[in-house]
Structure 1
């Protein structure tokens, strides 16, 4: 019987999604399970590792039942997952403690430790500034949970934990794929190796770090037990997989240089592909991540809760997105001099916990529509700021379009605002969830079922193209500078409040 299907799994912050695809890209079925985020003491956000593993078993089993596809026809499986959090496994690949989410901020003191001792060197080597990512989280575990640190054989990502359990692996077989290295704190991203100088500087044993592999590397096959739980056959092949942002960009067709990609979801993520590795030592804002496509980089920056701010507004004021989008469309660019700050949990890019959410410039003529539109404009100002940094580093970047995914890309007014703020046409993708498709095709490629990964990553676009308006661009260009100054002032105010 010919093998002709692949499973893609996306372990996101909000939940686990799995989908089954034929090798020509047709989605046969899908399933979703909401995450169980555990909010403990101050700054604590984690997940039970077995909950994550169980969610994968259940979603894959559900989609197989829906699909009607014989299990023997499913050849391979690929997994992408949350990128900035970290967890640990013992020698037998059992979880040591919970998965510390990227939302968990308990490691903040160790961010300062890393910045003070080698902040610029971390950026130069890894491509990413020190923030709530692997390095500080591992240092936190070593200092605050020494028994767990001692028991940890390898530090791994949640997608790796799941794949290792599915395949019955030992810790010595653990891996990290290269799309995560900008978050690692200890890697030489350009060379794709662990940096022994950084590991030594912070007292982290190299043997606790997993091997670094390409995302399509085959890492194992489903055990009898895992296959039964998934509704598949033992021997189904599993590849290393990649980070969820990397999978999302790959599935959106970001496979060549000079392509801007916007993820307008829970987080607001902006990236622009390039073939040059130029870490952001000046502003420490851009995370210089690797694409799944080797030799291509997708430097990015993001607002931790960009889309959540719009949801928050609806929760406070009622009505739905359609209503408020129509109200916002009637207003002039600039929201009548009103500015919004979307950093409800602190600014991430660059890391500045002193910046918090705010409205600035409110007057009696402002309405709810002004307040709603200013949220969208604040995200566009952030994107314009990120893009200006990339252009300084890489003057040759010349993107033709902004490619938009996520729920926010379905908003005409939001799409137009972004086109106007950056001066680049905006093209929404037809499919909002591109990560599961990319992970499935990555599995097919890694197991030899597909010969050209780039060729199948041509995401269909919607018919709408939002062209930038020159006058609105000039307004937004001026407002962006005011907005950035406002962020800096709020950061300074936050430091004063904390007595720093």
Structure 2
């Protein structure tokens, strides 16, 4: 049964029922052409480096990203062949929290400072300790963390004052690309929300956040709903892409919320779990959901669709670490490690793993957090440790979910939609189902943010009446059912995990300081 798109436009006798989703990611840009059923029919991607030229920095060349977007778009159009004339619109997804200072001509004065840049940590710490911290979070919906442009602006003002004074505007990477095409500075609600400068209740820039950042609204892009679109391509975009000038361009939203939409987790209470190198858990609601202590994020898809949850630093990265630690030279044994760990009983015989190998965002928001095995005995082996790592990453995600689950509709069973590299491990998928004690659905299509951008675009253009009706007809899912015999084990294990995580938090700074003491010179 096809999706009930209502008003797909026919122009000059041509049905414009195909659409392109563009996802500007941290490591690459992906461009995918979808048909009217949401099936991918052509795609192209191009990667670019993440630059770390000094401690804590994580930057990218904005012009290199622009060229990757243009090239991937042009190649996708080329690969689509005769279908190109049926493309009705382009819609965007983008990675969050980027910041670029530009001059009056729109020329970058800085690289694109990404979410992974931690140089503003001291400025974040000073605000976190103030009485205004929780109020700031309750207005913006963004946990206080160096990832947000709010703190990047404070860092830039103090560390690079000449650039800060010279800058005419402060923008994100998607804003920069759209400016190159349309000559105007504009951003969407979701991208604005990710800056930490946006008031989610008033849908405008937050006065107090701007004061803290020492900027005025004139220094930021104009804010538009995620459903805003340009009626036609600019001359520049038409020439660079090879598309018909009558193609529309939808501003779109950000990658996390759009991933929820793309996998089908859009009805209130639906949960999306992603584990790649890092991970995230997000649930959907019709109004903003906030945590009393500011430990979860809340971003819009539209004014009536909100996504709350949290990102974690340590997902597949933890499995990669334990794999690299134990693998033999020249051997790649992820599958073997996973299969061997299946022979260990749930709970790994009381061995727990706190997966904070690279600090942690949600739920701790502590860049100095450290990973640890707790409960080691002589009977524990490599396979126990592997299972504990896989369980620890899921228990960590469940700890984030526990902060928002009281706001989830408890009149129906939750639905989990899972994506990411972890779905290649049958054991890891089963642990997810068992810890949450619910069915896990894994969509066959992996480019969920690109598809989410297209689905949002169809809603924006009036081709579908309800945002949540679109995904359900487009998906084929693998189903993983929970083993109810493991429910009691994982409930007990989660309580242990939470108490141990809480107990360790007071020690992380001391461990961090000890690990980072200057080394004594030899012989002195």
Residue 440 to residue 351, structure 1, CA distance change in 2 (3 Å): same
Secondary structure of residue in 2 paired with 1:380:
helix
**In 1: Cα distance, 2:56 partner to 2:169 partner:** 24
TM alignment of 1:70-89, pairs within 5 A: 71-89=84-102
- What do the CA deviations read for 1:340-362 (whole angstroms, capped 9, x no partner)? 23222211113112212333333
For residue 518 of structure 2, what is the aligned residue in structure 1? Answer: none
**Aligned-pair CA distance for 1:410:** 3.9
| Aligned pair partner of 1:145 in 160, 165, 186 | 160
Residue 400 to residue 122, structure 1, CA distance change in 2 (3 Å): same
Kindly indicate whether the alpha-carbon contact (under 8 Å) linking 2:337 and 2:386 is maintained by their aligned counterparts in 1.
yes
| 1:34 pairs with 2:37 | no
| Aligned pair partner of 1:247 in 253, 258, 265 | 258
| RMSD between aligned residues | 2.4
**Aligned-pair CA distance for 1:164:** 2.3
Kindly indicate whether the alpha-carbon contact (under 8 Å) linking 1:78 and 1:241 is maintained by their aligned counterparts in 2.
yes
- What do the CA deviations read for 1:185-206 (whole angstroms, capped 9, x no partner)? 2222122122213322443222
- What do the CA deviations read for 1:162-204 (whole angstroms, capped 9, x no partner)? 222223x133xx22x2224543222221221222133224432
| 1:115 pairs with 2:128 | yes
| Aligned pair partner of 1:56 in 69, 80, 84 | 69
Q: Name stretches of at least 5 consecutive residues in structure 1 with no aligned partner.
A: none
| Aligned pair partner of 2:384 in 361, 370, 377 | 370
| Aligned pair partner of 1:285 in 288, 291, 295 | 295
For residue 183 of structure 1, what is the aligned residue in structure 2? Answer: 194
**What TM-score, normalized by structure 1, do the two folds share?**
0.91
Kindly indicate whether the alpha-carbon contact (under 8 Å) linking 1:216 and 1:442 is maintained by their aligned counterparts in 2.
yes
For residue 422 of structure 1, what is the aligned residue in structure 2? Answer: 436
| 1:389 pairs with 2:399 | no
Larger mean Cα displacement after TM superposition, 102-111 or 128-137: 128-137
Kindly indicate whether the alpha-carbon contact (under 8 Å) linking 1:258 and 1:274 is maintained by their aligned counterparts in 2.
yes
Larger mean Cα displacement after TM superposition, 124-133 or 69-78: 69-78
Q: Name stretches of at least 5 consecutive residues in structure 2 with no aligned partner.
A: 1-13, 515-524
Kindly indicate whether the alpha-carbon contact (under 8 Å) linking 2:94 and 2:254 is maintained by their aligned counterparts in 1.
yes
**Aligned-pair CA distance for 1:238:** 1.4
| 1:158 pairs with 2:167 | no
| Aligned pair partner of 2:339 in 320, 326, 331 | 326
**In 1: Cα distance, 2:81 partner to 2:197 partner:** 45
- Structure with the greater alpha carbon radius of gyration: 2
Larger mean Cα displacement after TM superposition, 436-445 or 250-259: 436-445
| 1:216 pairs with 2:227 | yes
| Aligned pair partner of 1:96 in 99, 109, 116 | 109
Larger mean Cα displacement after TM superposition, 296-305 or 233-242: 233-242
**Aligned-pair CA distance for 1:111:** 0.6
For residue 406 of structure 1, what is the aligned residue in structure 2? Answer: 420
**What TM-score, normalized by structure 2, do the two folds share?**
0.87
For residue 304 of structure 1, what is the aligned residue in structure 2? Answer: 313
Secondary structure of residue in 2 paired with 1:80:
strand
Q: How many residues align?
A: 493
**In 2: Cα distance, 1:202 partner to 1:74 partner:** 41
| Aligned pair partner of 2:324 in 293, 300, 315 | 315
Residue 463 to residue 72, structure 1, CA distance change in 2 (3 Å): closer
Kindly indicate whether the alpha-carbon contact (under 8 Å) linking 1:260 and 1:399 is maintained by their aligned counterparts in 2.
no
Larger mean Cα displacement after TM superposition, 42-51 or 361-370: 361-370
Kindly indicate whether the alpha-carbon contact (under 8 Å) linking 2:150 and 2:213 is maintained by their aligned counterparts in 1.
no
**In 2: Cα distance, 1:276 partner to 1:7 partner:** 29
**Aligned-pair CA distance for 1:150:** 2.4
**Aligned-pair CA distance for 1:384:** 2.1
Secondary structure of residue in 2 paired with 1:55:
helix
**In 1: Cα distance, 2:84 partner to 2:162 partner:** 42
